[in-house]
Structure 1
Amino acid sequence: MTELSSRPRTPLAVFGATMPLAGFGLNLALLTPVVVTLALKVEAVAPDTKERDLGVVLGVGAFLALVSNPLFGRLSDRTTSRLGMRRPWLVLGVLVGALGLVVVALAESVLLVGVGWCVAQIAYNAALAAHSATLPDQVPVARRGAVSGLVGITTLVSIVAGTVLTAVLPGDLARFGVPALIAVVLVGLFAGVLRDRVTPERQPLRLWRSFFFDPRRHPDFGWAWLTRFTFVFAAATGLTYLPYFLSEQLGVPTADVPGRVAVATVIAMGATVLTSVVGGFVSDRIGRRKPFVIAAALIAMVGLIVVALSGSFTQLLVGEVILGLGTGCFYAVDLALITEVLPDLDDAGKDLGVINMANALPQSLAPAVAPVFITIGGYPLLFLAGAAVGIVGALLVTRIRGVS
């Protein structure tokens, strides 16, 4: 394992400013479709089968994300380019991802929507894998809570910005293209200032190992993976189907749905930013991770339960605020925790790619199982089931032994 102190490092102030901005751009391009614009696009091209078709598009795309993130993480770990290990994948991923979103925007059938979305998922996940690996590459353990808190903020701000852009931008090309363009600019800035590692020695690639780790040898990493998986599964139920919940459960007119989603996420944003900043900073100061992750996950699930039981838009906003309070702190501190249980820093891209499988897999499973819960008890039952899974995930954190 190569020690962090022996590696080229970007000045922390520069890294701390540009790395979160790049994350904002990537997530703006990737999460805006997941939260709202893909649902609207699928409804426009196939209104009679929108739920089924959206589930298929999101499910296939999420499966490709599941595969591509650890695969490209492994490739970046073994990249010997003179431009560095991570930079080539950052640049190539964001450019190809933009092309995929343009295909989605111009599509006139569900098939073409799916093709464009699959291209975007593969490409953006290649960039995300390289982006995530720069955190353990560049930042000492004692400062990772603060930096991951900033990353958590920008990830969540990207959701808010995406919903606002969707509400104000005219037409599909602008709604998909503007986030893609912002991502190109911000990732390009980060790639330009990054003092990336250059590895001249070729190492065995062994791509099949990109998707596996031994939980018997690294049990803490395994429990961290399960914690992230369960939380993201819970969040995916609420995020993916919020537009349909608003229109069908609360009776919001379809034309008003983007605006209502924007209002809900903007109101929750203040709480999210506060807990992300404070949670990461305080976690660094006291040297503890687990209590923050457990409490944050439980608070977020209370918020999801409130959303599920909402009978009005006002009640839904209360739930979104509570959900935001927990989510901000969770993502900030959980990422710092994960970087402390990585099996090998020299395989950080691959191992963080495996963690990102816990981000992608629930996006595939949630749409696959959602119709069952919706048929039985509607969207409220789906959200409650997601909350139950998230509560289990909060309890799993107690199984991690190597981090306090």
Structure 2
Amino acid sequence: MSEPHTLPVAVDEGGPGADTPSRGPELREPSGFLAGLALSYFGVYLALMTPVMFALAFKLQHISGSIESATHALGVVAGTGAIVGMIAQPVVGRLSDRTRSSFGRRRPWILGGAVVGAGALGCVGLAHTMPQVLIAWCVAQAGFGAALVAAQATIPDQVPARRLGVVSGITGVTTPLSILAGSALVTVLTGDLLRFLVPGLVAVVLVIPLLVILEDPQLEDTPPRHGVREFLGSIAFNPRRHPNFSWVMASRFLVMFGYAGIGTFFPFFLGQRFQLGETDVAKAILLVNVVSVVCLSMSAPLGGALSDRIGKRRPFVAAAGLIMVLGLLLLAFAPTLGIVVVAQGVIGLGLGAFMSVDQALAVQVLPNPDDNAKDLGLIALAGTLPQSVGPAVAPVVISLGNATALGGYGTWYVLGALTCLAGVFTIYRVRGVR
């Protein structure tokens, strides 16, 4: 049987604001690269998402003694940690682009970040006060953020343009799979230390195959020396010179803001609306995540593959965002746990397609091939910044929403749907890539 024909991604040549650079000659993807990359993504996301989705909420509730106090503490811890992570990613990305180690440009940061992150998670598990949790979680965010941005930079380094959708689709599945695995771990592991340490150690083990497979040559030219001011200035970019890159960042921020508050406050939402205890909340989250993972696992590779075949990105990103809007509204008004499960399935369908195609689109509008890791760090910042802004804003929105018939968490999810909708409209400001 002949191989199916894959169209090149459509480009609007000479369109206004077209700043998409050529990615140069056809890249050769190393054998086994996708499998190694997927394993590393799964491990890092397992270490990051298990605390964000489950373990941090339970840990802080154990320390504070009440859901109300834990809600505010979780907002501070998750928000501050996200700020640290979003700062670390572009900084580490820039450092990775300039690294001249014999171990390569990406490997030192992937391995070093995972080891530091795992150690910090162990400290979170051992912490007895909220400040201790806060400090250790910030270190964990920085460590795993470094590993993640270095791993992401291997995609434009290694993957040809015609394969971007497929690769992004497969790696996109790793996030929900890690959430599902994390929910299972939280159910099986009853102690705080194990709930944090085990995911961290798994991450360290799972990045190793990528380190072995990766073709990561040493940087030949010595990069120019910069002072602190010049180095920080080199991380920034000019939105007017690179409008496509700017609009992709804006769209991702808005869509991910709509999604960011779901997982962080989901245990409290279930406990308050349906009067569930911690054990029942953990079981409900596991059920919800099974449905979400199944839906996302279908839509992520399918969306990426169809986008590659048809040669368009923006319609898929927009459609995925609209599906997420529908799911968020279902969640906000859900009268039963069954509707919550359906809503999370719908959100999973949208999120899977969005993550895969949006990542492929982001790679295609990177401003400079020599700064791939730094620029992907900025794109990652647009996805992680909502994790900081969301928890900081959420307690106020939830408090005000408690006075309405919809309730605090319902109001929060409606706000998420509106910002997600704004992200759908924003993606059509991108020019040069259809």
8 Å CA contact 1:70–1:210 kept in 2: the answer is no
Aligned partner (choices 377, 381, 386) of residue 357 of structure 1:
381
**Equivalents in 1 of 2:373, 2:256: separation in Å?**
20
Deviation at residue 402 of structure 1 after TM alignment: 1.2
The sequence identity of aligned pairs, in percent, is 43
> Segments of 4+ in structure 1 off by > 6 A?
none
Q: Aligned equivalents of 1:290 and 1:119: distance in 2?
A: 36
- What is aligned with 1:307? 331
Residue identity in the other structure for 2:272: E
Comparing 205-214 and 284-293, the one that deviates more: 205-214
Distance, in Å, in 2 between the alignment partners of 1:156 and 1:6 is 31
Q: Which of structures 1 and 2 has the bigger CA Rg?
A: 2
Q: Which residue of structure 2 lines up, in the alignment, with residue 262 of structure 1?
A: 286
CA distance in 2, matches of 1:233, 1:6: 35
Distance 1:84 1:350 in 2: 16
Structure 1 counterpart of 2:54: 36
1:292 to 316, 326, 329: 316
Distance in 1 (alpha carbons) for counterparts of 2:73 and 2:342:
31
Give a deviation string over 1:110-151, Cα, whole Å, max 9, x none.
Answer: 111111101101111111110110000000011010000001
Q: Counterpart of 1:242 in 2: which secondary structure?
A: helix
Q: Identify the residue that residue 92 of structure 1 maps to in structure 2.
A: 112
Q: Encode CA deviations 1:175-222: one digit per residue, 9 max, x unaligned.
A: 111111111111012112111131032213542135421110110000
Greater shift, 297-306 or 191-200, is seen at 191-200
Select the residue among 160, 181, 195 that pairs with 2:180: 160
Q: Distance in 2 between matches of 1:184 and 1:315?
A: 37
SS of corresponding position for 2:102? coil
Q: What is the rounded CA distance, in whole Å, between the counterparts of 2:180 and 2:302 in structure 1?
A: 20
Question: TM-score, length-normalised on structure 1?
Answer: 0.97
Corresponding position: 1:228 with 2:252: yes
Cα offset for 1:347?
A: 0.2
1:80 aligns with 2:110: no
What is aligned with 1:383? 413
* Distance in structure 2 (CA, Å) of the matches to 1:244 and 1:383: 13
In the TM superposition, 1:157-306 aligns within 5 A as 157-204=177-224, 205=226, 206-209=230-233, 211-306=235-330
Q: Residue 137 of structure 2 is aligned with which of 109, 117, 123?
A: 117
How far apart are 1:2 and its partner, in Å?
10
In 2 relative to 1, CA 344–325 (structure 1 residues): closer, same or farther, beyond 3 Å? same
Residue 349 of structure 1 aligns with an amino acid whose one-letter code is: A
Q: How much has 1:170 moved relative to structure 2?
A: 2.4
Unaligned ranges ≥5, structure 2: 1-20, 402-407
Q: Which amino acid aligns with 2:195?
A: R
> Partner of 2:32: helix, strand, or coil?
helix
Q: Is the aligned partner of 1:135 residue 2:155?
A: yes
Q: How many residues are aligned here? A: 402
TM-score by length of structure 2 reads: 0.90
Aligned partner letter, 2:411: L
* Cα distance in 2 for residues equivalent to 1:41 and 1:282: 42
363, 368, 372: which one pairs with 2:392? Answer: 368
Please list every run of 5 or more consecutive structure 1 residues that lacks an aligned counterpart in the other structure: none
Matching residue of 2:45: 27
CA shift at 1:3, angstroms?
A: 5.9
Please say if 1:64 is aligned against 2:97: no
TM-fit CA distance, 1:165: 1.1
Q: Is the 8 A contact 2:29 2:160 kept in 1?
A: no
